[in-house]
Amino acid sequence: MIYQSFKSRVQAIRAPAAIFLIATLAGCSLFGGGPVKPQPAELQPITPLVAVRQSWNTRVGQVNFPLEMGVSGNSVAVASGDGTVALLDAQTGRDIWRLALGTTLAAGVGNDGKVVAVVTRANEVVALQEGKELWRQKMGAQAFSAPFVAGLRVFVLAADRSVTAFDGQTGRKLWTQQRPNEPLVLRQSGVMLAVGDTLVVGLAGRLVGLNPSNGSVRWEAPIATPRGINDVERLVDLVGRVSRQGDVVCARAFQASVGCVNAVRGSLLWTKPANGVQGIDGDDRLLFGTEADGTVNAWRRTDGERTWSTDRLRYRSLTAPVVVGRSIAVGDFSGYVHLLSREDGSVLNRLATDGSAIAATPVLAGNTLIAVTRNGGVYGFQPQ
């Protein structure tokens, strides 16, 4: 399948009319009224211009949920839909530990190097340490974003627009910040990160700065504003991943825009229209993102002006990008990881996995690029 349907990305949390609307859209092409889908771009032969070797591979179970790999130092946390959670050595791919929770997962994995956290489909937050379960706590709503583990706390962004903080060692609930519900939410990873002593969270189309000690709101900055006449058109959730350089955080609003915010002052620096469904990454000069049709764009970090665009990977269901040296890496629906030039988007190399879709945005841990497939393959690549 070239595209995930709206039905797999969007979840109704109230309003029967919204459920009907999603079902109607899911049966149609995103690019017209008929069932015909655009054909993915054929991959052309390439001459590798960046040397990369596969250094290891291992396996977890099938990945059928919105996985985020949790990187801390030279460790990376991965998980499968059946509840297997593993902390791997990023250099060798060997298990530091592995645990079967015996329950299916809805989101994960958060990792601060000590505590690893996931969310089950039974709405439980589960914290693990050294291969053992520390605690689990029931949530009032489902979560599709990996917990954020930092400052001896575990933070969870739920589908009802609530943010909850738990003590990382005991699971005691410290506070909850509740925002107004909306009819629809995305069934994919949202935004949570720390900037200094502020917890930055994506709530609807806004980046919101919270006090991590008590959940109080310090500032809000809009990346996108809801528009349109129905709930689907008005959906403007922020999607992970984001690009941070110093105090500036840049993010994408689902099928609406990209923009940058000063996360100390809480001020919007700029926003530009963009039609993507995955997060972004960047360096000190440029931001990189994949659009819904597979076009890959680069924007200037200072003002959002586009510097290059390439359609070599159109309709290949791309992941968000990750910066790797002088390349950006994106995964596709047939299990390839493509390395594109940060300067002009030209293809520098193409890395094969097991032929199933890349299930999560690739990550860089130390000097190892790591990709996970839907069939559960975990691959480590090292640029030479």
How long a stretch of residues is the chain?
384
Report the C-alpha gap between 109 and 100 in whole angstroms. Answer: 14
Q: Could you tell me the sign of the dihedral formed by the alpha carbons of 242, 143, 59, 86, in that order? A: positive
Dist. CA 65–CA 138, nearest whole Å: 19
Return the number of other C-beta atoms located less than 10 Å from residue 290's C-beta.
27
pLDDT digits over 193-219, tens only? 999 999 999 998 999 999 999 999 999
| Distinct helix (H) and strand (E) counts, the chain | 2, 34
According to the model, what pLDDT value does residue 173 have?
Answer: 97
> Across the strands, what pairs with 101?
none
Task: Select from 11, 7, 360 the least CA-distant residue to 161.
Answer: 11
Question: Model pTM?
Answer: 0.90
Grouping H, G, I as helix, E, B as strand and the rest as coil, residue 24 is helix
Question: What would you measure as the largest C-alpha separation in the chain, in angstroms?
Answer: 55
**β-strand partners of 21:** none
Q: What is the pLDDT of residue 29?
A: 36
pLDDT score, position 104: 97
pLDDT of residue 188: 86
CA gap 110, 116 in Å, rounded: 5
Contact status, residue 383 vs residue 369, Cβ threshold 8 Å: yes
- Which residues contact residue 33 at a Cβ distance below 8 angstroms, ignoring those fewer than 6 apart? none
pLDDT recorded at residue 234: 66
Indicate if the alpha-carbon torsion angle 14, 15, 19, 22 is positive or negative.
negative
10-residue mean pLDDT profile of the chain (384 residues): values are 44 37 34 68 94 97 96 96 98 97 96 97 97 96 95 95 96 92 77 96 94 97 82 79 97 95 97 95 98 97 97 97 97 98 97 98 96 98 89
Please tell me the predicted confidence (pLDDT) of residue 179. 79
Is residue 200 within 8 A of residue 208, CB to CB? The reply is yes
Q: CA nearest 114: which of 146, 154, 81, 82?
A: 154
Burial of 194 (0-12, 13-18, 19+ CB in 10 A): middle
First to last CA, the chain: 34
Domain ranges of the chain: 1-38
HSE-up (13 A, CA, CB side) for residue 26: 14
- Would you state the torsion angle of the CA atoms of residues 127, 131, 133, 138, taken in this order, to the nearest 10 degrees? 40
